[in-house]
């Protein structure tokens, strides 16, 4: 036997071993996927959980409440955004079900692990808590420390308990951002801006070192309105004068000093909480209320209580949720025009769908992508299928562009909308490169070839092209709003120019039809389609196994990694997304820079 032949046989054997290994691994993966699908079907079916009569439902959401689960983006990971928590509709559905469930005798609010929550989402959950209380069942809330958003939900409880060394963070709303003009000047980065709309401030972080007076007026009115709504609701919940709550927030330092630095006592004295007790005492009281289960009280987590049922495949009302930046093309991040229009075409062709509700949660993005989605909604209406838009925390700028195609628009009073304006922005590095001895040169067949080059600036003719394009797109925006809302272009301009509005303010100026929730939007869609008792199907993209794995990894990392405050982390992630993801083919955007008050 030759050495060469032996070597060939050896490597041939190794090759066959690898081939066998690949086949075995592939078969194992197929088997695992099959088992996973079966497990998913089983776990998604009706709950077989045994719940003792009179038990407490424990509402204990963790992470950030979202409209729809999406895979975490790279910017979310880098910024330390809290892991995705439960969907808003799952919380409201659990509360509605529990209100009518004879096995559930009370509700325990445990919001300690709840991270950032948009004001519009707080309002929706608050309405569901009010409906639950109307069933005559008690609601108890406890916290070692209540953030402002956590306390808003706790204030709906019949009894609010705070740990003796706890605190209620109750300071107000604000809108803040970074301004980088000095940094860009030092780096010799030229920022070329073309905009339409006096209040269109999405470019200000790159062209100013502070907020413009126009933006300050617009956003101050927004946060004041949001804070007033917040105070009025909490005052009503707790039976405290609104002025007393506002004074506690504005002069918290004095209230704290009067309580000798005891934050828990300060909260008790103003009436924010009912009693200062520790967690063990709360569990004892719950056991007395709903019965004992071993050493604790009888209770079930809402995640266990509300196992998702298999969705109906032929319900007459479809709901599509769209959240994030509006972007061209297809992909995972944001609202992708290619993916969204494909889903809308499927709804248009599906004869079993009689009406569509679009749940929007976006501050806008690509003008081109916004128009593509709006046009597809318009085509859907020509098939005789009513379209109702439900606004989440925001449906501003490009989000409002899309909403104009609806038969009706429903907003939360806390929704942020409007921001009717457009801009283009190009950043170039010719001076930065020249400063280190790098120059850029070449030949072209005309003056506009290379007229917008990151290494060579923006020529005068190209500047005129961009400004003309922005002006035209703004006129298009005005016209689609005018057609959709039954207004004249001049009437739209009077409320446009990039101004932002709360949902309540938008109702007053005619930009929305009703203040309400997603359930209200579904009710309106049923009325328009003349459906008496509608079933609803939520059409959403399921996460792939890889995305599920990434989500779980991020959740695990979040438990050990240092993290910014939830609101600050989300703000940083949004800024990074705008920097890396915006992809309009003409560089023209309908985008609201700051579309959520920071808690």
Enumerate the domain spans of the chain: 1-45, 55-174+210-305, 317-545+585-591
Q: Is the dihedral of CA 427, 430, 434, 437 positive or negative?
A: positive
DSSP string, 210-251: S--HHHHHHHHHHHHHHHHHHHHHHHHHHT--HHHHHHHHHT
Distance CA 128, CA 293 (A): 27
Predicted pLDDT at 44: 42
By DSSP bridging, strand 317-323 and strand 326-327 are: unpaired
Q: Is the dihedral of CA 23, 24, 26, 31 positive or negative?
A: positive
- What is the set of active-site residues? 200, 397
Residue 574 has pLDDT above 70, yes or no: no
Distance CA 26, CA 20 (A): 10
Residue 530 has pLDDT above 50, yes or no: yes
Predicted pLDDT at 224: 93
**In this predicted structure, which of 153-162, 267-276, 333-342, 587-596 has the lowest mean pLDDT?**
587-596
Predicted pLDDT at 591: 85
Predicted pLDDT at 551: 54
Predicted pLDDT at 486: 95
Residue 23 has pLDDT above 80, yes or no: no
Residue 168 has pLDDT above 90, yes or no: yes
Percent of the chain clearing pLDDT 90 (strictly above)? 54
**In this predicted structure, which of 254-263, 286-295, 480-489 has the lowest mean pLDDT?**
286-295
C-beta neighbour count of 537 within 10 angstroms: 17
Distance CA 124, CA 145 (A): 22
Predicted pLDDT at 70: 67
Contacts of 552 (CB under 8 A, 6+ apart): none
Q: How far is CA 69 from CA 1, 90, 542, in A?
A: 63, 11, 8
- In which element (H, E) is residue 315 found? none
Predicted pLDDT at 83: 57
Summarize the chain as % helix, strand, coil (round to 5). 45, 20, 35
**Side-chain half-sphere exposure of 297, counting CA atoms within 13 A:** 25
55-174+210-305 and 317-545+585-591 share one CATH topology? yes
Residue 529 has pLDDT above 90, yes or no: yes
Place of tokens 């079993």: 352
Structure tokens at 421: 């304006």
Which of 72, 129, 76, 127 is closest to 98 using CA atoms? 129
Question: Mean of the pLDDT values across residues 8-21?
Answer: 45
Q: What is the mean pLDDT of the chain?
A: 83
Angle at 420 between CA 414 and CA 421, to 5 degrees: 135
**In this predicted structure, which of 31-45, 170-184, 492-506 has the lowest mean pLDDT?**
31-45
Domain 55-174+210-305 in CATH 3.90.226.10? The answer is yes
Contacts of 186 (CB under 8 A, 6+ apart): none
Predicted pLDDT at 449: 83
Distance CA 282, CA 163 (A): 10
Question: Mean of the pLDDT values across residues 297-309?
Answer: 80
CATH architecture under which domain 317-545+585-591 falls: Alpha-Beta Complex (3.90)
Distance CA 162, CA 145 (A): 7
Residue 219 has pLDDT above 50, yes or no: yes
Contacts of 478 (CB under 8 A, 6+ apart): 420, 489, 492, 493, 496
DSSP category for residue 437? T
Predicted pLDDT at 306: 78
Higher pLDDT, 303 or 70: 303
Predicted pLDDT at 427: 85
């Amino acid at each position: 036997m030759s050495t060469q032949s032996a070597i060939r046989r050896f490597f041939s054997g190794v090759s066959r071993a690898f081939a066998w290994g690949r086949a075995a691994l592939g078969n194992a993966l197929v088997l695992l996927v099959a088992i996973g699908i079966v497990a998913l079907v089983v776990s998604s079916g009706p709950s077989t959980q045994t719940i003792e009569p009179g038990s407490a439902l424990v509402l204990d959401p963790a992470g950030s409440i979202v409209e729809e689960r999406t895979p975490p983006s790279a910017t979310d990971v880098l910024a330390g955004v809290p892991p995705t928590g439960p969907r808003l509709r799952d919380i409201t559905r659990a509360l509605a079900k529990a209100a009518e469930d004879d096995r559930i005798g009370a509700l325990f609010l445990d919001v300690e692990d709840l991270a950032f929550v948009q004001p519009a989402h707080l309002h929706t959950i608050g309405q569901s808590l009010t409906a639950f209380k109307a069933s005559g069942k008690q609601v108890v809330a406890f916290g070692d420390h209540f953030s402002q958003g956590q306390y808003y939900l706790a204030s709906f409880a019949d009894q609010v308990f705070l740990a003796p060394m706890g605190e209620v963070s109750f300071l107000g709303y604000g809108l803040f951002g970074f301004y980088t003009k000095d940094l860009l000047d030092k780096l010799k980065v030229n920022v070329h801006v073309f905009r339409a709309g006096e209040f269109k401030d999405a470019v200000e972080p790159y062209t100013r070192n502070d907020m413009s007076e126009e933006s300050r007026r617009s956003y101050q009115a927004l946060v004041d309105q949001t804070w007033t709504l917040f105070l009025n609701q909490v005052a009503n919940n707790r039976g405290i004068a609104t002025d007393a709550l506002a004074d506690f927030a504005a002069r918290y330092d004095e209230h704290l000093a009067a309580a000798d630095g005891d934050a828990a006592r300060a909260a008790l004295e103003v009436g924010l909480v009912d009693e200062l007790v520790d967690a063990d005492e709360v569990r004892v009281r719950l056991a007395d209320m709903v019965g004992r289960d071993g050493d604790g009280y009888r209770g079930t987590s809402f995640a266990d209580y509300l196992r998702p049922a298999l969705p109906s495949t032929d319900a007459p009302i479809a709901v599509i949720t769209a959240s994030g930046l509006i972007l061209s093309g297809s992909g995972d991040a944001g609202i992708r025009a290619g993916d969204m229009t494909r889903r809308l075409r499927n709804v248009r062709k599906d004869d079993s769908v009689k009406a569509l509700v679009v749940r929007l949660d976006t501050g806008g993005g690509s003008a081109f992508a916004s128009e593509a989605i709006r046009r597809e909604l318009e085509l859907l209406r020509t098939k005789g299928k009513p379209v109702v838009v439900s606004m989440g925390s925001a449906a501003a700028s490009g989000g409002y562009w899309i909403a104009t195609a609806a038969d009706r628009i429903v907003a939360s009073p806390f929704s942020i909308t409007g921001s009717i304006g457009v801009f283009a922005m190009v950043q170039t590095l010719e001076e930065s490169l020249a400063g280190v001895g790098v120059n850029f040169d070449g030949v072209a067949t005309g003056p506009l070839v290379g007229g917008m080059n990151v290494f060579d600036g923006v020529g005068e003719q190209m500047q005129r092209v961009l400004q003309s394009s922005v002006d035209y797109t703004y006129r298009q925006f005005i016209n689609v709003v005018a057609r959709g809302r039954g207004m004249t272009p001049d009437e739209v301009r009077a409320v446009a120019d990039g101004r932002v509005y709360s949902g309540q303010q938008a109702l007053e100026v005619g930009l929305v039809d009703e203040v309400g929730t997603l359930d209200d939007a579904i009710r309106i869609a049923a009325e328009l389609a003349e459906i008496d008792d509608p079933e609803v199907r939520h059409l959403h993209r399921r996460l792939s196994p890889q995305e599920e794995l990434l989500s779980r990894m991020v959740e695990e990392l979040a438990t050990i990694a240092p993290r910014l405050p939830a609101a600050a982390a989300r703000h940083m992630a949004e800024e990074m997304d705008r920097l890396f993801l915006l992809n309009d083919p003409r560089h023209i955007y309908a985008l609201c820079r700051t579309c959520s008050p920071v808690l």
